[in-house]
Amino acid sequence: MPTLADVIRELESRYDPRWAESWDAVGLVCGDPSQPVRKVLFAVDPVAAVADEALSWGADLIVTHHPLYLRGTTSVAATTFKGRLVHTLIKNDVALYTAHTNADVADPGVSDALARAVGLTGPLVPLSPSADDPRRGLGRIGSLPSPMPLRDFVRQAAAGLPGTAGGLRVAGDLDREVLRVAVSGGAGDSLLGTARAAGVDVFLTADLRHHPASEFIEAGSGPALVDAAHWATEWPWLAEAARLLTSGTAAGGINVETRVSETVTDAWITTAKCEELTSRTPGLKAGA
């Protein structure tokens, strides 16, 4: 029967921990390398609902994209949701393993799956290639099969990504023709300048805040921006990671069953539309 060590070996042949950023925390969080593993659940976030899903299904291992403890902890007491998760997992013999920035920069990695989900075809290259290996890196640049208005690309991207309350937010001219597209799973504000320098027509990423986004648009002459839910941009990778694990272990004569979590771990559950400014501004002209 396959052990956790066998599964980790296969995962790390794809997502080598040495490629993780220095500030990151990847690898095995809890579990014993010698324990048997038959069922593996893939999820974006290590949270209680995902652990419940794992227990219901009988998973032996959860592989998440986000670390449980990105910063070190000196306690796993069941006084926080993270400590309660550790207790639940250890008591139920469920291991937890994280592939984070090492999965981001892998070839193929998190942004490859995102690129395919939003309809990019043909070859993909890193948006920010690693100095040590240019086939690896953060983000991906690819092309659409043919130019289309930004408006149509947004519809296509929305159709390819899993649903969240906020959906996609768009900045730029909806009639602009777009062909070359950069995508980056997760928070992409640090790549805004790189995306501009790359000369792409649109940059799709997540967690863009007011100052980076509005200064980027104000500077002009750069790509349009599409902002999705952080979770939604990373979720497409789970299926690919699961597929690679099953095929990789099968090639070694080992049978591992995988499943992708369907729990939406985006925080937002609904949205509400605010008043249009034009309908209420007369009374606000303070100086009148």
Numbered residues of the known binding site for a divalent metal cation: 65-66, 104, 230, 234
Q: In angstroms, what is the minimal distance from the CB of 252 to a second copy?
A: 16
Is the distance from CB of 88 to CB of 59 less than 8 angstroms? no
Closest to 62 in 3D by CA, of 269, 278, 263, 267:
263
Structure tokens at 124: 């993909």
Residue 45 as a binder of a second copy (CB under 8 A): the answer is yes
Q: Distance between CA atoms of 101 and 95, rounded to whole angstroms?
A: 20
Q: Distance between CA atoms of 64 and 29, rounded to whole angstroms?
A: 10
Q: In angstroms, what is the minimal distance from the CB of 194 to a second copy?
A: 18
For 250, the 3-state DSSP assignment is helix
Residue 224 amino acid letter: A
Closest to 65 in 3D by CA, of 36, 32, 105, 35:
105
- Segment near a second copy (CB under 8 A), from 11-19, 101-109, 135-143, 226-234? 226-234
- Segment near a second copy (CB under 8 A), from 9-17, 127-135, 138-146, 213-221? 213-221
For 205, the 3-state DSSP assignment is strand
Judged by beta carbon, residue 61 or residue 124, the one nearer a second copy is: 61
Beta-strand relationship, 224-228 and 95-98? unpaired
Closest to 187 in 3D by CA, of 209, 215, 165:
209
Binding a second copy (rule: CB under 8 A), the pick from 9, 16, 25, 119 is 25
Is the distance from CB of 188 to CB of 207 less than 8 angstroms? yes
Q: In angstroms, what is the minimal distance from the CB of 150 to a second copy?
A: 10
Binding a second copy (rule: CB under 8 A), the pick from 10, 126, 216, 223 is 216
Binding a second copy (rule: CB under 8 A), the pick from 10, 15, 31, 63 is 31
Name residues contacting a second copy, limited to 112-131 (CB under 8 A): none
Binding a second copy (rule: CB under 8 A), the pick from 175, 210, 251, 253 is 210
Residue 243 as a binder of a second copy (CB under 8 A): the answer is yes
Judged by beta carbon, residue 77 or residue 197, the one nearer a second copy is: 77
Binding a second copy (rule: CB under 8 A), the pick from 55, 125, 187, 254 is 187
Contact pattern from residue 268 through residue 287 relative to a second copy, giving x for each residue in contact according to CB under 8 A and a dash for the rest: xxxxxxxxxxx-xx--xxxx
Q: Distance between CA atoms of 250 and 253, rounded to whole angstroms?
A: 5
Contact pattern from residue 46 through residue 85 relative to a second copy, giving x for each residue in contact according to CB under 8 A and a dash for the rest: -xx-----------------xxxxxxxxxxxxxxxx-xx-
Residue 149 as a binder of a second copy (CB under 8 A): the answer is no
Residue 211 as a binder of a second copy (CB under 8 A): the answer is yes
Judged by beta carbon, residue 136 or residue 234, the one nearer a second copy is: 234
Q: Distance between CA atoms of 181 and 157, rounded to whole angstroms?
A: 11
For 206, the 3-state DSSP assignment is strand
Binding a second copy (rule: CB under 8 A), the pick from 3, 9, 28, 254 is 28
Q: Residue 137: CA atoms inside 13 Å, Cβ hemisphere, count?
A: 19
For 124, the 3-state DSSP assignment is strand
Judged by beta carbon, residue 74 or residue 146, the one nearer a second copy is: 74
